[in-house]
């Protein structure tokens, strides 16, 4: 006796994938403390005591690029506010290392399109684009570090200087 032919049915399966958000993750960017310097009669540079890792999540599900703009205030002496570092004291002297995916994400690492060395002038200068992910890169959850540098002129009065940094994460044109 011959086997009966198999019977086949088809079914459709659907999955809706909604767009997520473009946000900073895990309270980043965080505060930065520069390494102390001792005045010695020469101009000096200081770098952060601990690297400032920035974490971004691009869960929009689109190929648009994104960018981070930053606007610092002048570094101002904590006791004598008329003592300030130059508006041009802050910079990113070299391109950051490549972005890496966070362990919780399969990401598309960002291709940064910003040219370095990059001065980051204090207000009232306009905000500076400090990082920009090219279209169709920087998707998922990723992290990178910007290598800040602060120029301390030889004529700077001793003391503690403070600045407030405002970061904006936006879709880039």
> What topology is assigned to 22-27+45-154+161-171 in CATH?
Jelly Rolls (2.60.120)
Taking the CB of residue 44, how many other CB atoms lie within 10 A of it? Answer: 15
For the chain, the structural domain boundaries read 22-27+45-154+161-171
Segment 65-71 shows an average pLDDT of 96
pLDDT at 123: 86
pLDDT tens digit sequence for 77-110:
999 999 999 999 999 999 998 999 999 899 999 9
Segment 55-63 shows an average pLDDT of 93
Find out whether 5 and 43 touch, Cβ atoms under 8 Å.
no
pLDDT at 4: 74
Long-range contacts of 19-22 (CB under 8 A, 24+ apart): 19/59, 19/60, 19/61, 19/62, 20/57, 20/59, 20/60, 20/61, 21/57, 21/59, 21/60, 22/56, 22/57, 22/58, 22/59, 22/60, 22/66, 22/169, 22/170, 22/171
Q: E strands of 18-72, at which residues?
A: 22-24, 44-46, 53-58, 66-72
pLDDT at 27: 85
Q: Is the pLDDT of residue 3 over 90?
A: no
Q: Mean pLDDT of all residues in the chain? A: 94
pLDDT band at 147 (very low <50, low <70, confident <90, very high): very high
pLDDT at 172: 83
């Amino acid at each position: 006796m011959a086997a009966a032919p198999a019977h086949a049915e088809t079914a459709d399966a659907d999955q809706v994938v909604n767009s997520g958000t473009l946000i900073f993750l895990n309270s980043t960017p965080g505060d930065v403390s520069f390494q102390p310097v001792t005045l010695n009669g020469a101009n000096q540079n200081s770098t952060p005591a601990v690297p400032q890792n920035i974490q971004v999540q691009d869960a929009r599900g689109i190929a648009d690029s994104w960018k981070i703009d930053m606007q610092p205030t002048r570094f101002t002496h904590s006791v004598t506010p008329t003592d300030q570092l130059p508006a041009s004291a802050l910079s990113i002297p070299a391109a950051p290392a490549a972005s890496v995916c966070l362990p919780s994400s399969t990401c598309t690492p960002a291709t940064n399109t910003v040219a370095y060395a990059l001065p980051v002038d204090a207000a009232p200068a306009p905000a500076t684009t400090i990082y920009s992910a090219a279209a169709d890169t920087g998707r998922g959850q990723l992290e990178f570090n910007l290598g800040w540098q602060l120029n301390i002129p030889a004529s700077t009065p001793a003391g503690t200087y403070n600045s407030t940094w405002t970061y904006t994460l936006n879709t880039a044109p």
